[in-house]
């Protein structure tokens, strides 16, 4: 490889076979996947984020369906973000919640919260049967720059505060990528999913990073609609990032 070569030179891209869509099960879906055996994958991952890709376990993928373009990659330019009234109320409700960035590793506490979350949010959807192996494969993989952002109640005198949420987060040289967040299902009214994003934005700002990638927004899908409430928001149109909505 010469001096003019790029880390993405000869990087192979595969198209998966058809499978049920994870968002609209009645639809057939396909994905583009970067070669998971390529040793450069972690190196090119930041560039892949800029191309609208996302990580799940050790797979870096982008939806590529024949008759559907519903999945739109979105990101927050963190320096320009300003919380709206609802997000400020969320912060106020959770003023005593502490955020900690810790190594990405499964603990009994993390796994117990994950199982409770899946049982409440994804019952009979396939994920509710996840064990420790699925936790490790889905959330950890072999990525060197993954961290857990823990949200905890204020600590007591002799013990850390109760774990409320975990935001699995990848750190790239110029951005953070929100991989997956799970939280206490009994505390839905606290808006812990929103709070996790707000704390990820704070994290990115502290470290001088430009963006927080949120994965895919899907018009008309209730579980994805929260992403459009973060302003300003940018969306990838397949060629470049544009202000959302376009």
Helices and strands (DSSP H and E) totals, the chain: 5, 14
Quick: pLDDT tens for 205-239. Answer: 999 999 999 999 998 888 888 899 999 999 999 99
CB atoms within 10 A of CB 66: 8
pLDDT band, very low/low/confident/very high, at 144 (cuts 50, 70, 90): confident
What is the structure's pLDDT at 205? Answer: 98
Q: Are 48 and 211 within 8 A, CB to CB?
A: no
The pLDDT tens digits for 46-66 are 999 999 999 999 999 999 998
**Residues 181 and 168: beta-carbon distance below 8 Å:** yes
SS (H, E, C) 4-71: CCCCCCCCCEEECCCEECCCCCCCEECEEEECCCCCCHHHHHHHHHHCCCEEECCEEEEECCCCCCCE
CATH 3.40.630.30 residue ranges of the chain are: 74-244
pLDDT of residue 142: 78
CATH fold, domain 74-244, is Aminopeptidase (3.40.630)
Average pLDDT over residues 129-134: 82
Residues 6+ apart with CB under 8 A from 216: 54, 63, 71, 72, 73, 74, 224
CA-CA distance, 56 to 243, in Å (whole number)?
26
- pLDDT at residue 123 is higher than 70: no
Output the pLDDT for position 192.
Answer: 96
**176 vs 24, more confident:** 176
Residue (of 136, 135, 195, 204) closest to 169 by Cα position = 204
Mean pLDDT calculated for residue range 65-69? 87
């Amino acid at each position: 490889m010469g001096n003019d070569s790029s880390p993405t030179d000869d990087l192979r891209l595969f198209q998966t076979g058809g499978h049920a869509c994870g968002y609209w099960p009645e639809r057939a879906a396909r994905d583009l996947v970067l070669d998971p055996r390529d040793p450069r994958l972690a190196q090119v991952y930041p560039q892949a984020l800029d191309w609208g890709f996302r990580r799940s376990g050790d797979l870096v993928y982008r939806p590529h369906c024949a008759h559907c373009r519903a999945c739109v990659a979105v990101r927050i330019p963190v320096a320009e973000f300003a919380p709206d009234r609802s997000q400020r109320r969320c912060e106020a409700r959770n003023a005593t919640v502490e955020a900690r960035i810790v190594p990405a590793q499964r603990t009994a506490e993390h796994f117990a919260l994950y199982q409770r979350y899946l049982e409440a949010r994804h019952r009979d959807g396939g994920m509710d049967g996840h064990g420790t192996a699925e936790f490790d494969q889905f959330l950890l993989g072999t990525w060197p720059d993954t961290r857990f952002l823990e949200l905890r109640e204020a600590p007591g005198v002799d013990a850390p505060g109760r774990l409320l949420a975990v935001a699995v987060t990848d750190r790239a040289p110029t951005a953070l990528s929100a991989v997956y967040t799970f939280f206490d299902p009994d505390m839905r009214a606290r808006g812990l999913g929103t709070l996790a994003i707000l704390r990820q934005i704070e994290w990115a700002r502290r470290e001088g990073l430009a963006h927080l990638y949120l994965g895919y927004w899907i018009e008309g899908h209730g579980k994805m609609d929260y992403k459009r409430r973060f302003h300003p928001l940018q969306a990838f149109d397949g060629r470049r990032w544009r202000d959302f909505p376009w």
